[in-house]
């Protein structure tokens, strides 16, 4: 994640601001008017002290008060418009930003998503976007407001008394010097804090997901100890950043107060010598107080700016990841899939130093039922991932209906392929929503039909809510077998040309598994079924069986042909059924 950012994918907030240029300009105009109107209050004090009180001029006093009330109303109106527009634009920008990141995720390959890690992606789209949101809506507006205030107030201060103004700002270089020395250390401390905080966030997420494992291994105390260590590390980072932050605040307060003291000392002498009126000094002192408030605001805003800047850099790390794209310019639109499949000299590895598949070549004819077997880690699931084009082969080609898979429109191609994994993912929602997931305008009768094929309809129908029953996050309110059958129903509802079952019935008992398999085969009659299995009972009726070992295709043929060869397949088979009489019934 430390790679150099590709500017083609980099998010630049200025591009979002351009979309709402009119609203932003109107907000800044209202901000300018609020600042200008605020300048009237100290000057009103000067008029009261120099003109109203010495002359006991009640008419002038009433005029001043009425003018201030009118200014107060206008300032409230412009302030409301300014805050409403800035908040509205800020929220829209953040929504646009979050949507762009979310769209980007769907353009990444599975390989890149796993390399980045889901926890990092989640952190970017939640914590980092929230940091940017806070800065845009709150502190960015404060920053502009402070700059405008500084310029206007500084102009007024010089207009009233150049000597006092030069005296007031004489302390600023010392402040800037100390600030520039401390700020890099504060930025580094905040960066380290964010890194540790992200690690804690990831650990909490992992602990929640893996709670059954933690409890069954009695690892609660060990995990608590690890978490406490991470918390202590976080506390150390926080203490350092707080120390630096408080130091900055003390410096700001010291030098702003020092400026006020110097102005009070010299200003009083100016009044006593007749060079200034008492009202002018009070007005000047009020303006000077208003001048240091934006300085303090700018200091506070800088912390938020550093946070949002770091967040934007981390988001751009995601945006810089290359998207999965076709290797050809003009992709083929697949309207129909016959099911002629060919792997030709395919090599694949997740890491260059460790090959997973080596020189895989085979053919599957339309309508064939194919089994894939082999030891754990042999490369069976990797084979399926390549067929789904979740990953790209390192070498070799995959052909679908005589077309190279790289030439096909991947979205159109996947419309004709459905896959069911061993632990397939279900979403928080109803059973009906999960079966119909990704499809529009699906009838309830179609949902019931595929549920019946998957042998899950009777269970669903017996539930109080039926197909409207909510199954919870990841379907945790269901058993493993129930989740698998709902996943099978979901795959069948797509009416695929190729159905892939990757250990899809491993949690079912033998009787239910047999019923599901027969119903699925009838439903998919004339279409391809690819079964990745450990249980030989699920593939013995297959037209072809591919045997994978150490990433290589070492055997292929029907069940009886492979048994007759008395090779690796037969060894696996006899080992699985050595205590059952099923061997005799299926060999002969």
Which region among 8-22, 51-65, 267-281 has the lowest average model confidence (pLDDT)? 8-22
Average pLDDT score, the chain: 81
What span, in angstroms and rounded, lies between the C-alpha atoms of 544 and 60?
A: 103
pLDDT at 202 > cutoff 60 = yes
What is the pLDDT at residue 399?
93
| pLDDT, mean of residues 321-346 | 74
Beta pairing partners, 417: 498
User: Tokens representing 310?
Assistant: 């770091």
531 pLDDT higher than 80: yes
In the chain, CATH 3.40.50.300 covers: 426-495
Closest to 499 measured CA to CA, from 382, 416, 585: 416
Q: CA angle, corner 450, sides to 447 and 453, nearest 5?
A: 150
Q: Which residue has the higher pLDDT, 407 or 293?
A: 407
Residue 286's pLDDT band (boundaries 50, 70, 90)? confident
Sheet harboring 528-532: ordered strands across?
417-420, 498-502, 528-532, 369-373, 544-549, 552-557
* DSSP code at position 358: E
SS3 label, residue 127: helix
- Cα first-last separation, the chain: 58
Cβ atoms of residues 382 and 348 within 8 Å: yes
pLDDT tops 90 at residue 190: no
Structure tokens at 87: 């908040």
Name the band, by pLDDT with cuts 50, 70 and 90, for residue 5.
Answer: very low
- Residues in contact with 470: Cβ distance below 8 Å, sequence separation at least 6, in sequence order: 428, 429, 430, 477
What pLDDT, on a 0 to 100 scale, did the predictor assign at position 205?
72
Q: What's the whole-number mean pLDDT along residues 331-351?
A: 85
Poorest-pLDDT segment among 9-23, 230-244, 529-543: 9-23
Task: Pull the structure tokens for residue 312.
Answer: 């934007």
- 158-172, 309-323, 402-416 — which is least confidently predicted? 309-323
Q: How many helices (H) and strands (E) does the chain have?
A: 24, 10
Closest by CA to 384, choosing from 331, 341, 336, 353, is: 341
Confidence of residue 400 (pLDDT cuts 50, 70, 90): very high
Instruction: Report the alpha-carbon distance of residue 54 to residue 464 in Å, rounded.
Output: 86
Mean pLDDT of 254-266: 77
The 10 Å Cβ neighbour count of residue 223 is: 16
> Higher pLDDT residue, 31 or 357?
357
What is the rounded distance in angstroms from the CA atom of residue 490 to the CA atom of residue 474? 15
Which residue carries 């976080």 as its tokens? 234
Token reading at 365: 């004819």
Q: How confident is the model at residue 390 (pLDDT cuts 50, 70, 90)?
A: confident
* Predicted structure pTM score: 0.65
If we measure between CA atoms, which residue out of 561, 524, 325 comes closest to residue 416? 524
Residue 586, Cα to own-chain centre: how many angstroms? Answer: 52
Q: 537, 371 in Cβ contact below 8 A? A: no
What pLDDT, on a 0 to 100 scale, did the predictor assign at position 212? Answer: 67
Instruction: Give the mean pLDDT of 316-330.
Output: 61
Please, are residues 421 and 504 in contact by the beta-carbon 8 Å criterion? yes
Looking at the structure, give the CATH architecture of the domain made up of residues 426-495: 3-Layer(aba) Sandwich (3.40)
Q: How many CB atoms lie within 10 A of CB 398?
A: 21
Rounded-to-integer distance, Cα 309 and Cα 47, Å: 46
Within 405-479, where are the H helices?
410-414, 431-435, 444-453, 457-461
For domain 13-319, give the CATH number.
Answer: 1.20.1560.10
Query: Has residue 499 got a pLDDT over 90?
Result: yes
**3-class DSSP state of 339:** coil
Kindly tell me if the per-residue pLDDT of 99 is higher than 80. yes
Chain region(s) in the chain for CATH 1.20.1560.10:
13-319
Q: Coil, helix or strand for 351? A: strand
Cβ-count burial 179-205 (b if 16+ within 10 Å, e if not) = beebbeebbebbebbbebbbeebbeee
Q: Which residue has the higher pLDDT, 363 or 127?
A: 363
Q: Give the Cα separation of 347 and 359 in Å (integer).
A: 5
3-state SS assignment for residue 419:
strand
pLDDT class of 11 with cuts at 50, 70, 90: low
Distances, alpha carbon 458 to alpha carbons 427, 451, 507, 513, in Å: 21, 9, 18, 16
């Amino acid at each position: 994640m430390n790679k150099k950012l590709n500017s083609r994918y980099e998010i630049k907030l200025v591009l979002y601001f351009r979309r709402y240029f009119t609203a932003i300009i109107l907000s800044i105009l209202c901000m300018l008017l609020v600042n200008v109107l605020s300048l009237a209050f100290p000057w009103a004090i000067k008029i009261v002290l120099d003109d109203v009180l010495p002359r006991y001029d009640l008419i002038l006093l009433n005029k001043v008060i009425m003018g201030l009330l009118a200014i107060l109303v206008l300032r409230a109106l412009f302030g409301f418009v300014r805050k409403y527009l800035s908040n509205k634009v800020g929220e829209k920008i953040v929504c646009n930003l979050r949507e762009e990141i979310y769209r980007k995720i769907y353009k990444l390959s599975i390989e890149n998503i796993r390399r980045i890690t889901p926890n990092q992606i989640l952190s970017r789209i939640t914590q980092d976007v929230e940091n940017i949101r806070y800065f845009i809506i709150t502190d960015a507006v404060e920053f502009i407001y402070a700059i405008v205030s500084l310029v206007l107030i500084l102009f007024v201060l010089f207009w009233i008394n150049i000597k006092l103004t030069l005296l007031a700002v004489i302390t600023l270089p010392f402040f800037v010097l100390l600030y520039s020395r401390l700020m890099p250390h504060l930025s580094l401390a905040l960066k380290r804090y964010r890194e540790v905080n992200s690690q804690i966030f990831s650990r909490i997420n992992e602990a929640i997901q893996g709670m059954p494992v933690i409890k069954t291994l009695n690892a609660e105390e060990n995990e608590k100890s690890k978490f406490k260590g991470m918390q202590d590390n976080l506390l150390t980072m926080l203490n350092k950043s707080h120390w630096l932050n408080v130091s900055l605040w003390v410096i700001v307060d010291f030098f702003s107060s020092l400026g006020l003291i110097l102005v009070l000392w010299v200003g009083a002498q100016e009044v006593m010598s007749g060079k200034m009126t008492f009202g002018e000094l009070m007005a000047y002192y009020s303006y000077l107080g208003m001048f240091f408030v934006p300085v303090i605001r700018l200091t506070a805003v800088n912390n938020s700016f550093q946070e949002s800047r770091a967040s934007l850099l981390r988001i751009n790390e995601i945006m810089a990841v290359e998207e999965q794209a076709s290797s050809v310019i003009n992709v083929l639109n697949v309207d129909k899939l016959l099911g002629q499949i060919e792997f030709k000299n395919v090599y694949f590895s997740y890491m260059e130093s460790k090959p997973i598949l080596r020189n895989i070549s085979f053919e599957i004819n339309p309508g064939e039922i194919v089994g894939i077997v082999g030891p754990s880690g042999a490369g069976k699931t990797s084979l399926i991932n390549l067929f789904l084009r979740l990953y790209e082969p390192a070498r070799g080609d995959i052909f679908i209906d005589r077309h190279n898979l790289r030439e096909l429109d991947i979205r159109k191609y996947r419309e004709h392929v459905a896959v069911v994994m061993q632990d397939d993912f279900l979403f928080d929602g109803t059973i009906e929503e999960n079966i119909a997931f990704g499809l529009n305008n699906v009838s309830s009768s179609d949902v019931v039909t595929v549920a019946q094929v998957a042998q899950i309809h009777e269970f669903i129908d017996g539930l109080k809510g039926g197909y409207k029953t909510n199954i919870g996050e990841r379907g945790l309110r269901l058993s493993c077998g129930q989740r698998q059958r709902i996943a099978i129903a979901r795959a069948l509802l797509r009416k695929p040309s190729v159905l892939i079952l990757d250990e899809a019935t491993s949690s079912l008992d033998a009787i239910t598994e047999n019923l599901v398999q027969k119903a699925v085969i009838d439903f998919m009659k004339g279409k391809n079924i690819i079964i990745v299995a450990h249980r030989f009972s699920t593939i013995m009726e297959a037209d072809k069986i591919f045997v994978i070992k150490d990433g290589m295709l070492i055997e292929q043929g029907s069940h009886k042909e492979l048994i007759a060869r008395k090779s690796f397949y037969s060894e696996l088979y006899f080992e699985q059924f050595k205590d059952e009489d099923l061997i005799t019934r299926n060999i002969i």
